Amino acid sequence: MATVALTLENFEQTILGGETVFVDFWAGWCGPCMQFAPNYEAASEANPDFVFAKVDTEDQQQLAAAMNITSIPTIMAFKEGIGVFAQAGALPRPMLDDLISQVRELDMDMVRSDLARQEAEQAVAASGATEA
């Protein structure tokens, strides 16, 4: 499966509509991005059950800014609409394959439980700060 080009218009729909989505933030002038591209494309071919998308940060500057992209390439992974990984830097193919395996095996019930606990702790901390 070829990679999908993401824009401000289709980003949210793609993230929320796909079971698991990997996103490569890149630019044509970026040497490491160009070196990483064949690995990313090969991973997309090897894992047709996932969506592999790309965001051209030159063309989609507003989207890159909204996602706080400060260095490229940056790889993000979303599972069931939840961001589960983000890292700047070109991953060698073995590390990319390992990342894909880890995301595939994530227990999303546990992830949602951890997020709920963190949100509850933040709410308690925020209410304590306003009472002081």
Active site residues: 30, 33
**C-alpha dist (Å) from residue 54 to 28, 40, 115:** 12, 10, 27
- CA dist 105 and 29 (Å) reads 34
Centroid of chain to Cα 99: 11
Cβ atoms of 111 and 102 closer than 8 Å:
no
Six token digits for residue 67: 């996602």
- CA dist 110 and 30 (Å) reads 37
